Structure 1
Amino acid sequence: MTSNQNVQAVFIDRDGTIGGTGHFIHPRDFELYPTAQEAIMLLKQNGMKVFAFTNQHRIARGQATVQEFEAQFQEYGFDQAYICSHEEECGCRKPKPGMLHEAAAQHGLDLTRCIVVGDVGETDMLAAHAVGATKIIVRTGWGESSLTKFRDKWAETEPDYIAADILEAVHWIIGNTDE
């Protein structure tokens, strides 16, 4: 990557990546990590589209609505949210890349020029790997255990960068696109 124009979009997971615990938390109770809002705004200030992409099967159970999640992501400054609300097997539930393909079709994206940031190797990183996107795993949420205890579940791929948190990931993205 040599300039911001090369990165078409950054896809960011929710639970464990920008806040929360890695487990389901209703949007009204969800809290961002202290530097997450700054990270999202830095991407936008650097001319990048920022998309949320998250598995939220509790929507299918009636514990929240897609609209509640969409409103939350809009409040945080995301350009759009891609949410898999299905509990059963489907084509959009990470690690399947359906949400990434949907975004590519809607926004004319070359997914090999996009970046995925998440905390779970066996979902976020595998979805990114399936489409050739740059993969950044954060150590927050499930990140540390994804890199150690559960590394065998996504052994077929390597992250392009391992960040302490979302802000470090964003600094890496900006630093590698401003050369």
Structure 2
Amino acid sequence: MRQLEAIFLDRDGTIGGDDTVHYPGEFELFLYVEKEIKRLKQDNIKIFSFTNQPGISNGLAKRQDFVQELKGFGFNDVYICPHRHDEGCSCRKPNTGMLIEAQQKHELRLENCAVVGDRWSDIVAAAKVGSIKILVKTGAGKSSLNEHFDKLNDVNIDYIANDFKDTISWLYRNFILSNRL
């Protein structure tokens, strides 16, 4: 059984909001998320943000506002791609730049980390580095399963969760508690 080292969480649609971007000050967490983040941290699981935010590049928001907001929610560290999809960066999901940066900074084994998101790009990035892949049906999750099946065709999703709370229950059953037995 793998020892879970960290969880990478997408922002919009995964831990709050819906399938659109809500800028800091407008974004609201789902009711149970803050409690679950505290629980994970008490069990020494690192929690990282992992989010594409092209509004930064477009001048609609500031990176520091996202960082401040996410750290306020309890994240250990924040990884943000501020680029638009046409800028050709290595950090924008489904590329793996944010995951690799966190791996190096925190000395992680990405195969012992979970990536949780509501979009196909979250899951494909996780697959590229061998992480545990969890797709939540909130946000764009249902449409990712239905409309982007072709992009997920060769990816074995480890778990499809109804929401973030379901995700955390599954992780506790399969990784966190089972390692204590």
Asked if Structure 1 and Structure 2 have the same fold, meaning a TM-score greater than 0.5 normalized by the shorter chain, the answer is yes
Q: Specify the SS of the correspondent of 2:20.
A: coil
* Match status 1:104 vs 2:103: yes
**Counterpart of 1:161?**
159
- Counterpart of 1:17? 14
Q: How does 1:28-177 map to 2 (within 5 A)?
A: 28-87=25-84, 88-121=87-120, 123-177=121-175
Whole-angstrom distance in 1 between the partners of 2:163 and 2:39: 14
TM-score, length of structure 1 as denominator length: 0.95
Deviation, structure 1 residue 134: 0.3
Letter in 2 for 1:89: G
Aligned residues: CA RMSD: 1.0
TM-score normalised by L of structure 2: 0.93
Q: Which stretches in structure 2 are left out of the alignment for 5+ residues? A: none
* CA distance in structure 2 between the partners assigned to 1:172 and 1:38 by the alignment: 16
Greater Cα shift, 19-28 or 137-146: 19-28
Check conservation: 1:135, 1:160, Cα contact below 8 A. Answer: yes
Identical amino acids, percent of aligned pairs:
45
Cα distance in 1 for partners of 2:49, 2:37 equals: 10
Counterpart CA distance in 1 for 2:174 and 2:38 is: 17
Q: Deviations over 1:112-166 (max 9, x none)?
A: 1100000012x10000000000001100000011112221122110210111101
- Separation in 1, partners of 2:32, 2:136: 13
- Runs of 4+ displaced beyond 2 Å: none
